[in-house]
Structure 1
């Protein structure tokens, strides 16, 4: 399109189509805590996590430069997924954002709020089921009716064969 002078109109500033988030990769350093919070009982996952840092050494070989420790928090579906799949020592990748706050002592602190979280494929061996018939069910199995008392079937003890027939 052109403007009133016949010049091409300046294109409107393009917004990126991607919605980038911050990412955090590390390992679960503490035993995770899962609980329901608030009046609505929102699922919450919390873990202390470690992040290994590297620098380029001689010949471009990465050299470990240290480890920092941080708070990782997830809510709702992300919390349930993290609780089901992650344990102490697991390596993970999380997408989300950093939330700055003041801790109980009044000191500035930060936590990473994970909106999506899973195992780090570079550090974790796992299987991927691509065939729909091989996939484990994501639904919970139906509850077993345990209200009826168990009565064992009547079984008769087999008679022993006479000593003269056994060798």
Structure 2
């Protein structure tokens, strides 16, 4: 069987995470995230370039767990995909936006000190996690909160 891979994203939480509910009734985590960029110099040193900012969303039980676990400034690594969508801005113009939809997220072990709780999840928690894998991708018709183009 081939190795299963997905897109990944690493960065830091740049805004206070928000937990809301979608029109479908799904829990939604939203945060503006930052990515630091570097250029490697010929002598092996690095020069920091401009930090870029993007939208990160998670849904359902993963959103609830992420909201409880992450705060502004936390460094993370996430697995998921980029979702591109169109929306009308305040001037009635059609614009394109994008957000990273994380299916899994965790603190960046290279940049975070933490302890691990290895207590097995309850049966209810385990069944919720398995059910979320087959859930359909949420649809977007408006820009992510905080997007300005």
Same fold, TM exceeding 0.5? yes
The CA deviation at 1:138 is 5.5
Matched with 2:74 is 90
Residue 121 of structure 1 is matched in structure 2 by 109
TM-score scaled to structure 2, two decimals?
Answer: 0.72
Residue in structure 1 matched with residue 139 of structure 2 by the alignment? none
Larger Rg: 1
Q: Greater shift after overlay, 101-110 or 79-88?
A: 101-110
Equivalence for 2:137: none
Q: Which runs of 5+ in 1 are unaligned?
A: 1-15, 140-167
TM (norm. structure 1) is: 0.65
Once residues 71 and 124 of structure 1 are traced to their aligned partners in structure 2, the CA distance between those partners, rounded to angstroms, is 21
Matches within 5 A, 1:60-139: 60-105=44-89, 106-129=94-117, 135=119
Gaps of 5+ in 2: 123-149
The structure with the greater share of residues assigned to helix is 2
* Runs of 4 or more consecutive aligned structure 1 residues displaced over 3 Å after TM superposition: none
The alignment of Structure 1 onto Structure 2 pairs a total of residues equal to: 118
CA RMSD, Structure 1 to Structure 2 (Å): 1.8
Higher RCO (Cα < 8 Å, 6 or more apart): 2
